[in-house]
Amino acid sequence: MSIPQSGGGPIESFEQLAAYMEAGCKPASDWRIGTEHEKFGYVAATLEPLPYEGACSVRAILEGLRDGYGWTPVLEKDAIIGLTRDGANVSLEPGGQLELSGAPVETVHDTKAELESHLREVAEVADGMGAKFFGVGAAPVWTHEQMPVMPKGRYRLMTDYMGQVGTHGTQMMYRTCTVQVNLDYASEADMVQKLRVALALQPVATALFASSPFFEGRVNGHKSWRSRIWRSLDAARTGMLPFVFEDGMGFQRYVDWVLDVPMYFVYRDGSYINALGQSFRDFLKGELPALPGEKPTLSDWADHMTTVFPEARVKKYIEMRGADAGPLAHLVALPALWVGLTYDGTALDAAWDLAKGWSAETREALRVAASVDGLQAEVDGLRMADLAREVVAIAQAGLRARGRAGAGMADEAGHLDVLAESAASGRGIADDLLDRFHGPWEGDLRRIYPEMSY
């Protein structure tokens, strides 16, 4: 989850809110790729989640990266909660999941190199203390009571609130991991088209990357339990955003939606002030109960924008949020998929042509079916495996058109090979894990830890 935003002065007019998003517009030559992924840490000897404190712990991992690899620590009070280096940052999810938010890079090849370097550094630190990290969409065995709690004020507030607005909020916070990519737009119209494609096709990404068929030691009946969790979290701030597909969509329409999402907090002087359920519209008028008489800054607006969690989210860029975490090849394939679909005009048009006739009901049904059945899903005659083959083919064509050579490859399309194989077979990570569970693992889910570790 996001760290506190900074650098924004007082909000003096309502128009600044949409202008904040518009400031993200940039020419195609300046478009970049920012990949984020989360992973679970565990104690190798016991298979239990890493605590925050101790010789084998989350804090020790952060300190090892700081001391051994030149990362600068990020502190909250006296606790180390993250790291920064060269435009990238490492942060903590509520249950100790370690997240890399990569630096903005030019090519998928660069993303792959960054991911490999990060995972190598983490492994070298972790191995020395008896820790490991693995990547799936939801913790397969651990219960809520087993999860550590990270020393971040934002998470304490959110934990209290989640139980009031949904049934799965704390599961999302403490026991899920995702991979996402952040991509640029050129203009308001480009943002709208990319956001529509991103939302409409997010269920295809969910199906392709589904890796969470287990929860609390059992088969859970879903290929992506992480996606299932998001469907019962907080209806006010999640979902497929039907309004995005309506006439008149633009920066201001998105601002209007975010303004109507209840607040979590205001960040002041290193502390999180409880504003749970309060209105940013009241804040703009100086009538926020948490800070009577005070008006927000653009940093407050940027913070509030990080507390909405739709399947694709806009800030000064668009975040693709529908995928489970997985093996390294999939961490690379996720940005490759969306870069291929959205960074080439012909591919973007083809992707929109594929989805533009779907109703809001169809899009939502695809979302639900993807979480349950993955690539075997079918909705109103639309077969997910067929959609996946079309989507991956469009993305491959988009990457070939970009023609970005690197890593011994003529272009970036080879990074999609793992998805092309899944789409062709109609089987994904979750299907392989279930086969192993019912086959060679003989129902022993402890086997998932070494087999899915980085």
* pLDDT, tens digit only, all 454 positions of the chain: 455 555 578 999 999 999 999 999 999 999 999 999 999 999 999 999 999 999 999 999 999 999 999 999 999 989 999 999 999 999 999 999 999 999 999 999 999 999 999 999 999 999 999 999 999 999 999 999 999 999 987 787 777 777 777 678 789 889 999 999 999 999 999 999 999 999 999 999 999 999 999 999 999 999 999 999 999 889 999 999 999 999 999 999 999 999 999 999 999 988 899 999 999 999 999 999 999 999 999 999 999 999 999 999 999 999 999 999 999 999 999 999 999 999 999 999 999 999 999 999 999 999 999 999 999 999 999 999 999 999 999 999 999 999 999 999 999 999 999 999 999 999 999 999 999 999 999 999 999 999 999 9
In DSSP terms, which residues pair with 378 in a beta bridge?
A: 383
Pairing of the two strands 214-215 and 98-101: unpaired
- Host H or E run for residue 418: helix 417-425
Q: What is the pTM of this model?
A: 0.96
- Residues 426 and 405: beta-carbon distance below 8 Å: no
Residue 5 lies in a domain: no
Look at residue 182 and give its three-state secondary structure: strand
CB atoms under 10 Å from CB of 431, counted, come to: 19
For residue 61, give both structure tokens.
Answer: 């991992």
- Maximum distance among all alpha carbons in the chain? 64
| Number of domains observed in the structure of the chain | 1
- Residues 276 and 261: beta-carbon distance below 8 Å: no
CA angle 313, 4, 265 (to 5 degrees): 85
Pairing of the two strands 309-310 and 238-239: parallel
Q: Where are the alpha helices (DSSP H) in 52-107?
A: 58-69
Residue 443 lies in a domain: no
Residue 444 lies in a domain: no
Measured CA to CA, the distance from residue 5 to residue 8 in angstroms comes to 8
For residue 152, what pLDDT is reported? 82
Assign residue 346 a region (left: φ > 0; alpha: ψ between -120 and 50; beta: otherwise).
alpha
Residue 10 lies in a domain: no
Count CA atoms within 13 Å of residue 396 on its CB side. 15
Measured CA to CA, the distance from residue 268 to residue 154 in angstroms comes to 12
For residue 268, what pLDDT is reported? 92
Measured CA to CA, the distance from residue 298 to residue 9 in angstroms comes to 6
Look at residue 137 and give its three-state secondary structure: coil
Residue 275 lies in a domain: yes
Q: Is 73 exposed, middle or buried (0-12, 13-18, 19+ CB in 10 A)?
A: middle
Residue 76 lies in a domain: yes
For residue 154, what pLDDT is reported? 79
Residue 300 lies in a domain: yes
For residue 158, what pLDDT is reported? 79
Q: Which residues of 280-300 are buried (b: 16+ CB within 10 A; e: fewer)?
A: beebbeeebebbeeeebbbbb
CA angle 99, 100, 103 (to 5 degrees): 155
C-alpha closest to that of 266 among 290, 292, 282, 250: 290
C-alpha closest to that of 35 among 91, 112, 97, 134: 112
For residue 125, what pLDDT is reported? 98
Task: List the domain range (segments joined by +) for residue 173.
Answer: 15-438
- Residues 202 and 320: beta-carbon distance below 8 Å: yes
CATH number at residue 260: 3.30.590.20
Residue 351 lies in a domain: yes
Assign residue 129 a region (left: φ > 0; alpha: ψ between -120 and 50; beta: otherwise).
alpha
Q: Which amino acid is at 144?
A: H
Pairing of the two strands 88-92 and 238-239: unpaired
Look at residue 236 and give its three-state secondary structure: coil
